Structure 1
Amino acid sequence: MRTRGGLLLANIVAGLALGYTVANIGFGDYAELNRMFTFQDLRMLGAFAGGVALVVVVFALIRVRRTPGRIHAGVIPGAVLFGGGWALSGGCPAIPIIQAASGYLPALVTIVGIVVGTRLCRWANAKYFHLDVGSCGR
């Protein structure tokens, strides 16, 4: 049986390894992200596509079957906000942490934006939308 401390340590090690890898291959660099979003350099887009292809193969091998269902009401607006924020700030929620740890201090503004956006999402959800809790992060 796994202990809570062992699981926490495993998550910390995996997170550090991911952060180190992402930073060293240049995916934490704002200019690199900008080149991907403007289709000037397809290297990062290819890496994402390769990751998706790998997951598809693994899911096929372990026989994961999903039945398509109704799209959750928060998916489309959430995807637009997430993609727009990523394009403007140069990072999804993990990248600004890597950027800040690498000394790129403007990433702190993005981190504040992520926190404020999550809080606003929770507030708007509670007041207006009443979607399930998972739609605004944890």
Structure 2
Amino acid sequence: MRTRGAVLLANIITGLALGYVVTNIGFGDYAELNRMFTFQDLRMFLAFAGAVALIVCVFALLRVRRTPGRIHAGVVPGAVLFGTGWAISGGCPAIPIVQVASGYLPALVTIVGVVVGIRLCRWAGTRYFHLDRGSCEL
């Protein structure tokens, strides 16, 4: 049985490794992301494709099987909002943390936007769509 300390240490090491990789391939650089979203440079798309291919292989080796369920009504509009926010701000929820750690302080605005967006999602989801609070988690 794993202790909480060992799990925490593993999470910290994994997070630091992910941040290092993400920073070194350019996902923390707004100009790099802008070139990807404006189709000026396909390098980032290829990085995404490589990551997807890698996880498909890992899931196959581990025999991870998921049965597709019903798609939640908020998935498509949520994906559109997510992608639009990413294109405008230059970061999905994890990237602004990498940007702040790299010294790019304007990314704090993106982090505030993510927090406000999650709170608005919870409020609108429970008030108008009768969804549980867990449907707006990262």
Q: TM-score, normalised by structure 2?
A: 0.92
Unaligned segments of structure 2, at least 5 residues: none
Residue 97 of structure 1 is matched in structure 2 by 97
Q: Which amino acid aligns with 2:10?
A: A
Contact 2:126 2:132 in 1 (8 A): no
* Displacement after TM superposition at 1:134 (Å): 2.8
Contact 1:86 1:92 in 2 (8 A): yes
Q: Which amino acid aligns with 2:137?
A: G
Identity rate, percent: 82
Q: Which amino acid aligns with 2:100?
A: A
RMSD across aligned positions (CA): 1.4
How many angstroms apart in 2 are the aligned matches of 1:80 and 1:64? 28
Unaligned segments of structure 1, at least 5 residues: none
Q: Which amino acid aligns with 1:74?
A: G
* Displacement after TM superposition at 1:23 (Å): 1.2
Q: TM-score, normalised by structure 1?
A: 0.92
Deviations 1:19-62 (A, max 9, x none): 12211222200000011111111111001001111122222233
- RCO higher in 1 or 2 (8 Å CA, sep ≥ 6)? 1
SS in 1 for 2:128: helix
How many angstroms apart in 2 are the aligned matches of 1:50 and 1:134? 30
Aligned residue-pair number: 138
Residue 15 of structure 1 is matched in structure 2 by 15
Contact 1:89 1:110 in 2 (8 A): yes
Residue 36 of structure 2 is matched in structure 1 by 36
SS in 2 for 1:129: coil
SS in 2 for 1:61: helix
